[in-house]
């Protein structure tokens, strides 16, 4: 059994006992008013904040959700925000994010940088005979937002410092990482694992490692497997010894001598796991009932073969951290299981609808190993091409004798394409190209993924592929009422994640 197939969340008996106590408290509270904890995660720029904002906005404002049964059947009485159950977790700033998306200067809200939480209470009528006789139902939906980079740290719980060092250094010596790691590699060659402890050398190594990780995340490369994840967003612990370590070239399984540089690095690596990784797993991750993983697959496809391979690795490691299984009242108390998981390829509005099924097929191929494992454990899995907020519309444009399917949107102010700078007001038509019908071709021939019409040059298609669009202006009814945020398949996603709890 490989590391990606077995559990990577090694915890102590004390940790499991604390988890059981927390689960019991959650279960007892749910006897009065049932609750469902939904985890929302994804790697950087995958759209976590926008997803949560759009989901809540459509629930609270009665959005257009025809595939969400409770709303489509008229059984959803109302949805509203309530105080969250965990007083020690920051609140998801829903109101500020809605203002960013819908205000006068419409823009995308800031990305997730910490754990936050929001409770939406849904009041509904049951669809079952006995449920309708009991009376109106109520469900507390507790949405837990957390950076996907933090998930990449969970496998560290099962890795020694020497093994992590060997793996991280080996990865960094493969293109395109090798070029991005040049400065760190140069410093690494000056470090002697058996030499004396050296605080200055350790700090420099940690800073150069962090610079390398940030360069890997740049959209030109869009690499995903980048632990330690908290080095990219350290928060209040920035500068502490637990964040002042880096790999040393000492080989897998090597032992650090006493009072050596390797011993100091190893001690801080273990502190990082104890102070940062374990509390996140225990207090947040292990208490989830359902999970959605947002994936910016288009960014990886645009960036090329290395980004695609790296995304596949990162998703496998992230999903191996989950505790999937069939939910029961006993599991809610003893070992909480995630019984439904959605993998969502975001920014589907950057493609014509003809390619949406193909985008889903590519994502299914990327997560197939982990998805099979989750299904085998008893969890239900879905894959969807999603746009939490639809920033474009579709149109047909004639070029010569050819009719081209395109998308139309407003680029953000300052976006440049072929020497033209956009003002944030002018719409443009884009020919996004078609994804291949066979998802395997993406992995067999990743150098040429998008198929473009004959009248559109590869350079033209490539230039427009990285354009960022502004959020759309809200439409209004004939009576002047603002409609909810437009989307693609948000209703299908909602139905899978919570529809069964509203029957």
Mean pLDDT, the chain, whole residue set = 86
pLDDT tens-digit readout, 200-214: 999 999 999 999 999
Residue percentage of the chain with pLDDT more than 70: 84
pLDDT-derived band at 479, boundaries 50, 70, 90? low
| CA distance between the termini of the chain | 39
As a whole number of angstroms, the distance between CA 492 and CA 68 comes to 6
State whether residue 159 is helix, strand or coil.
Answer: coil
Residue 339 tokens read as 């019984």
Q: Which of 2-6, 233-237, 345-349 has the lowest mean pLDDT?
A: 2-6
Q: State residue 266's pLDDT score.
A: 96
How far apart are the C-alpha atoms of 302 and 282, rounded to whole Å? 36
What pLDDT, on the 0 to 100 scale, is given for residue 314?
87
Minimum mean pLDDT range among 34-38, 129-133, 386-390, 495-499: 129-133
Q: Say whether pLDDT at 198 is over 80.
A: yes
**Which of the listed ranges 139-148, 417-426, 428-437, 477-486 does the model predict with the highest average pLDDT?**
139-148
Q: Please report, rounded to a whole number, the percentage of residues in the chain having pLDDT higher than 90.
A: 51
Higher-confidence residue: 500 or 9?
500
**pLDDT tens track for 49-68:** 999 999 999 999 988 999 99
Predicted confidence (pLDDT) at residue 472 exceeds the cutoff of 80:
yes
Average pLDDT value for residue range 211-229:
91
Start-end of CATH 3.40.50.300 domains in the chain:
13-146+284-390+487-498
pLDDT band of 502, cuts 50, 70, 90: very high
Across the range 33-49, mean pLDDT stands at 89
Token digits for 429?
Answer: 């038509």
Residue 390: DSSP 8-state: -
What pLDDT score was predicted for residue 32? 57
Architecture, CATH, for domain 13-146+284-390+487-498: 3-Layer(aba) Sandwich (3.40)
- Is the pLDDT at 290 greater than 90, yes or no? yes
User: How many Å apart are CA 105 and CA 295, to the nearest integer?
Assistant: 27
pLDDT-derived band of residue 375, with 50, 70 and 90 as boundaries? confident
Q: Are 406 and 352 in contact (CB under 8 A)?
A: yes
CB 298 within 8 A of CB 360: no
- CB-based contact 266:14 (threshold 8 Å): no
Per-residue pLDDT of 252-279, as tens digits, reads: 888 999 999 999 999 999 999 999 999 9
Does 98 have pLDDT greater than 90?
A: yes
Q: What span, in angstroms and rounded, lies between the C-alpha atoms of 149 and 153? A: 7
Look at residue 20 in the predicted model and tell me its pLDDT. 54
The residue-averaged pLDDT of 4-12 equals 46
Mean of pLDDT values over 382-402: 91
Closest among 8, 2, 79 to 318, alpha carbons compared: 8
- Residue range 371-387: average pLDDT? 86
* Structure confidence by residue, pLDDT tens digits, 405-431: 889 999 999 888 777 888 999 998 888
Rounded Cα gap, residues 497 and 341, in angstroms? 8
- What pLDDT does 16 receive? 55
Q: H helices of 304-446, where?
A: 305-319, 329-333, 356-366, 368-376, 440-444
pLDDT at 330: 44
CA distances 138 to 75, 80, 122, 125, 126, Å, are 12, 11, 6, 9, 10
What is the reported pTM?
0.86
pLDDT band for 326, please (50, 70, 90 cuts): low
CB 184 within 8 A of CB 172: yes
Torsion of CA 37, 38, 44, 45, to 10 degrees: -140
Lowest pLDDT segment from 9-18, 76-85, 281-290, 341-350: 9-18
Which two tokens mark 80?
């509203």
Confidence of residue 2 (pLDDT cuts 50, 70, 90): very low
């Amino acid at each position: 059994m490989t590391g990606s197939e077995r559990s990577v969340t090694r915890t102590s008996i004390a940790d499991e006992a604390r988890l059981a106590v927390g689960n019991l408290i959650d279960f007892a509270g749910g006897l009065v008013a049932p609750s469902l904890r939904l985890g929302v995660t994804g790697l950087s720029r995958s759209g976590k904040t926008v997803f949560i904002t759009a989901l809540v906005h459509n629930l609270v404002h009665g959005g257009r959700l025809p595939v969400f049964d409770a709303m489509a059947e008229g059984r959803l009485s109302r949805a509203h925000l309530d105080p969250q159950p965990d007083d020690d977790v920051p609140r998801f700033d829903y109101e500020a994010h809605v203002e960013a998306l819908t205000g006068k200067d419409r823009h995308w809200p800031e990305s997730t940088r910490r754990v936050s939480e929001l409770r939406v209470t849904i009041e509904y009528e049951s669809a079952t005979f006995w449920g309708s006789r009991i009376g109106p139902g109520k469900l507390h939906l507790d949405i837990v937002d957390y950076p996907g980079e933090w998930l990449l740290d969970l496998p560290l719980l099962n890795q020694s410092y020497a093994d992590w060092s060997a793996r991280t250094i080996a990865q960094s010596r493969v293109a395109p990482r090798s070029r991005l790691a040049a400065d760190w590699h140069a410093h690494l060659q000056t470090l002697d694992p058996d030499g004396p402890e050296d605080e200055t050398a350790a700090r420099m190594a940690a800073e150069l490692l962090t610079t390398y990780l940030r360069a890997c995340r740049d959209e030109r490369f869009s690499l995903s497997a980048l632990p330690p994840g908290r080095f990219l967003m350290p928060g209040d612990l920035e500068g502490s010894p637990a964040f002042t370590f880096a790999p040393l070239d000492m080989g897998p399984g090597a032992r650090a001598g006493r009072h050596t540089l390797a011993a100091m690095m190893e001690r801080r690596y273990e502190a990082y796991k104890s102070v940062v990784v374990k509390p996140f797993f225990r207090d947040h991750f292990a208490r989830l009932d359902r999970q959605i993983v947002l994936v910016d697959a288009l960014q990886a496809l645009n960036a090329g073969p290395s980004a695609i391979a790296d995304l596949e690795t990162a998703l496998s490691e992230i999903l191996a951290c989950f505790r999937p299984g069939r939910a029961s009242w006993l599991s809610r108390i003893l070992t909480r299981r995630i019984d439904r998981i959605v993998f969502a390829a975001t920014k589907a509005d950057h493609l014509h609808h003809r390619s949406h099924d193909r985008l889903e097929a590519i994502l299914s191929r990327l997560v197939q190993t982990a998805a099979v494992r989750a299904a085998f454990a008893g969890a239900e899995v879905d894959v969807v091409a999603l746009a939490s907020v639809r920033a474009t519309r579709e149109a047909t444009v004639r070029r010569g004798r050819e009719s081209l399917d395109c998308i139309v949107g407003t680029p953000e102010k300052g976006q440049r394409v072929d020497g033209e700078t956009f003002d944030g007001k002018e719409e443009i038509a884009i020919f996004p190209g078609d994804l291949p019908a066979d998802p395997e071709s993406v992995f067999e021939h990743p150098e040429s993924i998008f198929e473009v019409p004959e009248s559109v040059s590869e350079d033209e298609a490539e230039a427009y592929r990285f354009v960022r669009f502004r959020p759309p202006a809200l439409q209004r009814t004939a009576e002047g009422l603002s409609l909810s945020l437009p989307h693609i398949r948000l209703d299908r996603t909602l139905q899978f994640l919570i529809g069964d709890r509203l029957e």
